Amino acid sequence: MNPATEPDYGNAIPRFVQFTSPVSTDDAVDRSSPVALPLNLIALITQWIDDTASLASLCRTCRLLYYMTLPQLYQRVALRSYADIRYVNGRPEGFGGGSPFVMALNGLMTQSHTASLVEDFRVWGSWREEGHESFAKGRLPDNSMMLAILMRSATDKMVKLRTFSWELDCKPLKTLYQGLATHLTLTNLTLRFPGSRVPRPSVMIPPMKSLRVFKATDIDPLCYPDDISMLLLGSPMLRDLRLHFSPRMRREAEPTLSLSTYFGRCAKADYSIPCSHFAMQNWFGPMDMFSMQTCRSVTFLNNFGGIGSVGNAQNVYVDDTWKDLPPNMRPGFESYRTNEVFGQPARARRHLLKLTHSQVASQHVELLRRSDAGVTNMYFVGAKTPKLEGAVFNPTSPITPGDSPPADEEMSRLGQEYLHVLTRQHGQTLRRLLLREEWTLTPDEVGDLARYMPNLEQLGLALGAESSAVLRLLAPYWPKLIAIRLLQSEVLAEHMRTVSHEERMAGLGANLGQAGAENLQWIGFGDAVYRVGKVYQHVLEDGTWEWRREVTWASKADVQHIEVWGLDNLDISADAIASFSH
């Protein structure tokens, strides 16, 4: 730059330095503006605001905040459609115009500067699909086509789109899939298929080269779902696959599902999906092909051995096809989450009327014995499956022989098998372990956990003895433990009935202060949760003092990030998304 043309700032700080400096100066502040902070501090403050209404208010404050917060406001967009008109102060929503859902799509479609900011786009709710008779005549209804055109037009302008979720009660059309396939930034796709049996076209979903995460829910072969087989074959970056099937098939003992429908193209091409995480729920079909060689994390919920309610004994004929394990099958899974795996043992099936929970099975124990990789996370989901109506069996029929062992004895035996293989073969690698509440452990069995699993960070178990004494004695053997959850048992129920929360917190503070569990942060007693704080000196009545830990009452919402709580449910979305590099 020519020195003669350089601006003469004198001793003043240049303007471009004033507004980017972390220290505010009088010269940088415009007294007529409500904004008196440097821009970088404003950006740091606004990035912590996640409430949409607050962000919208900031955008309307002044021009500066509008430009700074607008990208954050439109980063995540979720639009909900309602089947019926909703009223606000006696007037329908969208009075004088269209529904809020359609008007929002219109805004994204016509204002490309806002659509270009969207990274996460979700549509959900109920769409009033008019003209079902058109399907019967071989033609798509006009309002379904208009919805697809609006969605295609809006998503085409989302040049930063990374996550797209279709959770309406109608299906996307081919034009939308074709548009999504052109997005090189799209890494996460969620599809919810409708449960209606109205005839409609089934679309072959095209491959998406950059797709990393795919989840399909409510898949029912009689409700015209779209074909995902080409998507699975042609998406080489796919790392996280989750398939949720309608529970109707298990309820009605209808084996209309086949793995070849979804993985047949991959099998014919001798292609193994490079998944790191695989989840499947409510599957009901024979074993014909299943290969996930690169999987390190799996979730199986209500798939192979009964849906967990008193009923459908007819499922056993299909479920038994999963009992025969190939002799060369040596899984390398490092993380398991399940409430039942690979059918039920023979004696457990004789007690089908008594078993009210989804059952684990001895075949899974054999898989754990064969496993080459050390298991780091093991979660036995204890959440109960809702009782299904229409079970095809007679509850009064005498199918349980009188000389059979009780159902709880069978579960206890399975629990001992699991404990043996987990402690002896995977104890050194286990970090998080959630057992079932039916497996009440004796002090000796808890001692085995402490002896063989020194690296545990989270533990959920049911105790058959007084909990405070066991925790005090074994806490030093788990120096890395940050959370322990005591599941429901008879002993715990008696403890909760006779000891108040205040007495329990005082006892925990005293015991933990002496036990030396410095990293422990959370303790659960059934449905009660307690936060463990810092160490302090407590003065006793005789004037002496002792070390104690602060213990306060917490809620379940506070521990949903802790896996032994957050993953104890029947939701395949609860698992963390498999990591991948962009």
| Average pLDDT by stretches of 10, the chain with 582 residues | 55 56 50 67 87 89 87 93 88 86 91 90 90 78 89 94 95 94 96 89 94 96 93 95 93 86 91 92 80 83 60 72 73 87 39 38 77 89 65 42 56 86 93 92 89 94 76 82 93 90 89 83 94 89 86 94 95 87 54
How far is C-alpha 558 from the geometric centre of its chain's CA atoms? 16
Report in angstroms the alpha-carbon separations of 447 from 63, 468, 518: 64, 14, 20
Nearest to 561 by CA among 531, 533, 534: 531
DSSP-assigned letter for residue 81: E
Q: 226, 217 in Cβ contact below 8 A?
A: no
Nearest to 215 by CA among 581, 580, 565, 575: 575
d(CA 115, CA 93): 23
Counting every residue, how long is the chain? 582
Please tell me the chain's helix, strand, coil percentages from 3-state DSSP, rounded to the nearest 5.
Answer: 35, 15, 50
DSSP-assigned letter for residue 507: H
Across-strand partners of 125? 81, 168
pLDDT for residue 307? 39
d(CA 537, CA 250): 58
The single residue listed with the structure tokens 């070849």 is 260
Query: 201: which 2 tokens?
Result: 């076209």
DSSP 3-state of 377: strand
Q: 430, 460 in Cβ contact below 8 A?
A: no
Nearest to 449 by CA among 430, 468, 472, 469: 430
What does 160-197 look like in DSSP terms, one character per residue? Answer: T--EEEEEESS---HHHHHHHHT-TT--EEEEE-----
| pLDDT (tens digit per residue) in 260-280 | 899 999 989 989 899 999 999
d(CA 427, CA 297): 18
pLDDT for residue 374? 87
| pLDDT (tens digit per residue) in 469-491 | 777 777 788 999 999 999 998 88
d(CA 130, CA 157): 27
d(CA 496, CA 463): 13
Q: 529, 522 in Cβ contact below 8 A?
A: yes
pLDDT for residue 312? 63
pLDDT for residue 411? 77
Terminal alpha carbon distance of the chain: 40
- The two counts, helices (H) then strands (E), for the chain are 21, 19
- pTM of the entire structure? 0.85
pLDDT for residue 396? 41
pLDDT for residue 40? 84
Nearest to 116 by CA among 179, 71, 150: 71
Nearest to 305 by CA among 336, 268, 342: 342
Cβ neighbours of 476 (radius 10 Å): 11
pLDDT for residue 90? 86
User: What residues contact residue 448 under an 8 Å CB cut-off, 6+ apart?
Assistant: 419, 423
pLDDT for residue 291? 67
Instruction: For strands 545-554 and 528-539, give the pairing.
Output: antiparallel
